[in-house]
Amino acid sequence: MLNEDFLTTPPWASWFESLLWLGIALYLMFVLPRLSASVAISVSMGLVISILLTHVILMTQYGWWVQLMMPLLLLVLGHALMTSKHYLLTERGKLRADAESSESNRNLALMLQSQGQLDMAFDRFRKCQINESLMENLYNLGLDFERKRQFNKAEHVFAYMSSYNASFKDLPQRILTARQLSETVILGGNPQTYLHTASSSDTSITKPMLGRYQIEKELGKGAMGTVYLGVDPKIGRQVAIKTLALSQSFEASELDAVKSRFFRRFFREAETAGRLNHPNIVTMYDAGEEHDLAYIAMELLKGQDLNPYTKPNHLLPFDTIAHIMVKVAEALDYAHQQHVIHRDIKPANIMYEPDTQLVKVTDFGIARITDSSKTKTGMVLGTPNFMSPEQLSGKKLDGRSDLFSLGTTMYQLVTGALPF
């Protein structure tokens, strides 16, 4: 004041301030939303610096007072609010997109799982946001890996789940069981042993699956493999599952050489039985191969084979034996008309149900289709005690060989001893 340095308000200050207010408002409403974050901060900082420099120059060089701080405050607060709004909208959109992507991956994983593509299903599940609902899906996936006897993969699924909730259901026990069974498989354990163990009463192990069939328990052992009680989950039908494990019969060095040949033999049983439709021949439903196990799903019979009735103190009445032989002869006559020779008729391959007098011929596993050029010669198959001389010598056979075996079977059922 002593130096008479006074600040004066120029006559154009009011309209300049109004234009600045309007310009900043238009910038905040129409320009700022269209800019990217980096460009927006650069432009806003440039405007702030320009306004500050203008204010300082007007005061120091010209001694003019123009109210620029309020528009400047509007610019700073407006930019902050618009940036916060954009960030919140982006985050909300990202969360929505993540949720939609997670649900899409989950649905795709469930579809892949239903098609048996378990590895691809697990990859999709891992892209989902993990929660209790997904934990249930992952748990079922782990059980599917167990049913497929892929225990190392089941362990990986359960371990992934434990990172979210280690106490989910029986997860610790599942991990331990999967690890133990995985080590058994890696060390060359027999898959038949696992099927027997997993189909026992131990509820900590998931019931195994062969194809679409769930294995319930072991019914018995035959010449070619083990027979299990199975269930078709789609229709609830109980079936007998006959399996062949090559690793049980051959050394590891021989396995690759004989695998294709013996699987062809095994599936020839399915082909042969599938051609036969007779009330006294067991019905075959399905056949398949999984890992080193081949299996055939066939009609489940309530009776038992005739082996117990070959003991001298447990013989059937002659009338009953005659009835059984007639039914078996009718079944063989039908099979021979279809160009099929059984080649292994014996008491163990004839099922009998005393209450209903039902008779069924089983096990066409070593049958030969006589019109197939691939099977007119080859190794001798069957049970020697019941073979015809022609079969023992490896000659080409016809239906009369089965009749010889049937006569031997009848002799044993009547007398309790073999004729030779």
The angle subtended at Cα 242 by Cα 292 and Cα 392, nearest 5°, is 95
Helix intervals (H) in 203-352: 246-249, 252-274, 318-337
Query: In the annotation, is 344 catalytic?
Result: yes
Is 180 in contact with 257 (CB distance < 8 Å)?
no
State the CB neighbour count (10 A cutoff) for residue 316.
18
- d(Cα 389, Cα 387) in Å, to the nearest integer? 6
- d(Cα 151, Cα 171) in Å, to the nearest integer? 14
Is 194 in contact with 218 (CB distance < 8 Å)?
no
113 sits in which H/E element: helix 69-114
- d(Cα 403, Cα 333) in Å, to the nearest integer? 9
| φ and ψ at residue 171, rounded to 5 degrees | -55, -45
- d(Cα 17, Cα 74) in Å, to the nearest integer? 12
- d(Cα 390, Cα 184) in Å, to the nearest integer? 45
Task: Convert 236-254 to b/e letters by CB count within 10 Å (16 or more is b).
Answer: eeebbbbbbbbbeeeeeee
Query: Would you call 304 helix, strand, or coil by DSSP?
Result: strand
Is 311 in contact with 416 (CB distance < 8 Å)?
yes
* Amino acid code (one letter) for 188: G
- d(Cα 297, Cα 295) in Å, to the nearest integer? 7
Is 235 in contact with 253 (CB distance < 8 Å)?
no
Selected catalytic residue, list 344, 355, 363, 402:
344
End-to-end CA distance of the chain: 142
Query: Catalytic site residues?
Result: 344
